[in-house]
Amino acid sequence: MKTAMFAAAAVAALGFAAPAMAEEVFAGLYKHDVTFIGEAVGLGAAGREDGVDIHLGYRTDRIESLTWLGKPQVHAFVSLNSENTSNFVAVGFDWKIELGARGGFYLRPGFGLAYTDGEAGLPPANAPNLTPEERARRTNLYYTRIDFGSQVLFEPELALGYQFNDSWSAELSYTHLSNGQIFAQGKNQGLDDVGVRLVYAF
């Protein structure tokens, strides 16, 4: 049920984000809730959820009218988790930056907003007057689910890509979700996804 709901939301998001015909579609496979990036930069990482994520998305052509913003592309995608825990949809901007005069390799930074069906405010396991069963249930949630603090989140991302020809490219991609202590105060465990995606331009 949750997967169907998020697929429907993704279709709606794609239609909203695309004022013109799409330039690219992409599909990717990601490891869900990796910890090595957060640990490397000293921000920590949740490391509580399992599975892989499938990213299915769409990008517009560069928006020439947004010169002041560097003529970004609009991206919209859905992320479906194999364990059906924290699925999400995201919409935002990204920029393709060629590396070298001959093309081939490029960077693609991006930033957007996301909505997740993951947990946003786990109940405390040390609350008074809990039954043993309820305490065990809450403790299990604490160790197996990310507490995002908010279901509306920021979605920064970064990809290193290689363009094989006019139609096909591949990207090594990192996506992060976090409330940034702006959409909520307190819990802000966040999610790191790392994977690869195949991009088709038309």
pTM: 0.83
Residue 43 pLDDT grade (very low, low, confident, very high; cuts 50, 70, 90): low
78/18: higher pLDDT: 78
CA distance 69 to 54: 29
Helix (H) or strand (E) holding 132: helix 132-144
SS3 readout for 66-78: CHHHCCCEEEEEE
Predicted confidence (pLDDT) per residue in 47-56, tens digit: 899 999 999 9
The Cβ-side half-sphere exposure at 66, using a 13 Å CA radius, reads 12
pLDDT at 42: 61
CA distance 155 to 113: 5
Exposed e or buried b per residue across 65-77, where buried means at least 16 C-beta atoms within 10 angstroms of its C-beta:
eeeeeeebbbbbb
Residue 3 has pLDDT above 80, yes or no: no
Say whether 100 sits in a helix, a strand or coil: coil
Share of the chain above pLDDT 70, in %: 87
